Structure 1
């Protein structure tokens, strides 16, 4: 285990097997952290995979909420936090695998699929997988954990993390 200043991390955390997971805007954060980790390097930490669940990637129109939160951003697709394809460091993503999950009725579904396609065609050397929950909306599984489509989605995520 670790030799850092936090005893509970040293005892319980396996920094050689880390997964980043994010839902909606958190998916953007998980992606961006993985790219930054690969770009700047993080000693002693191995990111095995990233789960991108119902991502909130931007489009060609200005995202006014994001622009308010990040005034230095254009708020649209030239910002790598909203459009990973605009990031010259995408190829550096520090993980071996990515699972992209979208929901069929989610107004952001196409952006999630475009992210999957961008990553698959990029110079990044890992493996990207795609999972769609048809006839469901953004973050549906968080509102009914036992719904007909939430259970298979969560199983897919667990399987992704537990596979060797």
Structure 2
């Protein structure tokens, strides 16, 4: 017989998760899987693509009829955009840099749709997605994420900005939105060491970028929008990133919006409140700005 579960805690990282000595993981925010669907109220269609590594959202098209899922449904409806949500693997079961690798893989797969070449279409490992081929303007790509997802968004644009990682002619990341972004402290703390055991040397760049202005100055996107909240425990790191980007010599435009009296990712916890509505309104406006 196996040993009984124990309540002894091995690692405790609120507000993210707790790991017990018997290996169990308790997440403080449980995300319930929502099946893809055709929403009869909004007209938004969704489906899982690329071996379920991402979910694709298509806005209502003439002649066709959980929190993250509902939020993306709302953005797609209000902004009339095609949204692709990356289903990256989560720590602590899958330690970093897995989430970065998964996200980059989806972006690379998406960029291949520009080629429209027969050898891509017929390759078993690369399955082309008609919704992307038929409805996406690849010269106007926005990346957006909240909390750790915002950190990943920044890393993706850094990778895309490196000459050896260009995504091909015609695929242009024009702007990024970072909502309550998670960046590390000036030192690698206990939490970062646990979820990212290889975060020594250059890999620290993914958690603490403010000391590396050269990378910030070379970002290929033209605009950055940062969202903060007054009572967010990560607020100061967002402001530090904002200041570092402005001082880096990057020739793009960076803006910041702070929501007073609110906490980290409040817009997902209370999506119907007035301030969450204002955040979404500003996000939709950002997507519609001229680049």
Normalising by structure 2, we get a TM-score of 0.53
Between 1:63-72 and 1:153-162, the stretch displaced more is 63-72
Is there any run of 5+ residues in structure 2 with no aligned partner, and where? 1-112, 122-127
Residue 25 of structure 1: how far off its partner (Å):
0.5
Instruction: Tell me which residue corresponds to 1:20.
Output: 143
Secondary structure of the residue that 2:145 maps to in structure 1?
strand
Normalising by structure 1, we get a TM-score of 0.91
Residue 114 of structure 1: how far off its partner (Å):
0.8
Q: Write the deviation string for residues 92-140 of structure 1: whole angstroms up to 9, x where unpaired.
A: 2120000000000011101101111111111211100010001100000
Q: Write the deviation string for residues 3-62 of structure 1: whole angstroms up to 9, x where unpaired.
A: 433141211222111000010000000011111101132213101110010011111343
How many positions carry a matched residue from both structures?
162
Secondary structure of the residue that 1:107 maps to in structure 2?
coil
- Cα distance in 1, alignment partners of residues 274 and 187 from structure 2: 34
Is there any run of 5+ residues in structure 1 with no aligned partner, and where? none
Query: Which residue among 190, 193, 211 is the counterpart of 1:86?
Result: 211
Contact 2:231 2:262 in 1 (8 A): yes
Larger radius of gyration: 2
Instruction: Tell me which residue corresponds to 1:140.
Output: 266
Residue 163 of structure 1: how far off its partner (Å):
1.2
Instruction: Tell me which residue corresponds to 2:287.
Output: 161
Structure with bigger RCO (C-alpha 8 Å, 6+ apart): 1
Superposition CA RMSD, Å? 1.9
